[in-house]
Amino acid sequence: MKWVFFVLLAANVGLAALIYARDRLPNPDAQLLSLQINAEQIRIIAPRPAAPPAPVATATRPGVCLQWGSFGAAELPKAQAALDVLALGERARRIEVGVQTGYWVYIPPLRSKAQMQRKAIQLGQRGVTDYSPILADGRWRYAISLGVFRDEDAAKKRLTLLRGSGVPSAQIGERIQRVTQTAFLVRDATEAQSAQLANLKTQYPGSELRAVDCPLP
């Protein structure tokens, strides 16, 4: 029966070794405890404020003017009258600017110079004085230009006014060309005046209002 004794002895030695190894391993609960975060050490960091937007140029900044335009001969008198209401005095002045137009209102070419002249007289009788006879050789010889515009909306507005004045032969067409028009430059405009100019812009399709560097006196 000696073999029974040795089996029991081996089992006891193995159990003792297992208990010893278990005691040597780290305590899982102790590990969890060491991984816990101390609440008193938590700090709430306020979010970093977003960078402020870049300042927008306005007429209230030194050295910055407002430029409103541009206008051809047909619209210039009305735009000038609207600007005069703001009583800007010497702070507003006209400047000539080069623009690229995309549309024009015109009377198609007539058969002769004499017919073109008679049509011009008829325009004057209907109160239309802003026109330009075309005498240069080419496709548009003896046509009459009634205004050039940067966009179609402004051209349509001009056409509506002409039709109301009794000029049914006026038409709209595309015509890309570089022309000189007139814009208004306003110096030292207040916020209220800037708002008034922005309102005027909405009344004149195709016009622009933007901040520009004031020219030297």
Residue 69 lies in a domain: yes
Q: CA angle at residue 197 from 176 to 57, to 5 degrees? A: 85
Q: What is the pLDDT of residue 107?
A: 96
**Mean pLDDT of the 104-122 span:** 95
Question: Across-strand partners of 104?
Answer: 148, 173
Mean pLDDT over all residues of the chain? 78
Q: Which residue, chain included where needed, has tokens 């080419």? A: 138
Compute the distance between CA of residue 105 and CA of residue 112 in angstroms, rounded to an integer. Answer: 20
If one counts the domains in the chain, the total is 1
117-135: average pLDDT: 93
Q: What is the pLDDT of residue 18?
A: 53
Angle between helices 76-84 and 191-203 (to 10 degrees): 150
Q: Between 215 and 60, name the one with better pLDDT.
A: 215
For residues 56 and 151, the model is more confident at 151
Chain segment 153-195, per-residue pLDDT in tens: 888 989 999 999 999 999 999 888 888 889 999 998 888 889 9
Query: Which residue spans within 124-189 are E strands per DSSP?
Result: 132-133, 144-149, 171-187
* Domain assignment present for 134: yes
Note whether residue 90 is domain-resident.
yes
Whether 202 is in a domain gets the answer yes
What is the per-residue pLDDT for 33? 44
Q: Are 75 and 147 in contact (CB under 8 A)?
A: yes
In a domain, 89, yes or no: yes
Q: What is the pLDDT of residues 14-37, one digit of tens each?
A: 555 555 545 555 555 544 444 444
Position 79 in a domain: yes
**Predicted local distance difference test score (pLDDT) of residue 184:** 94
Question: Where in the sequence is the domain holding 134, given as residue range(s)?
Answer: 64-213
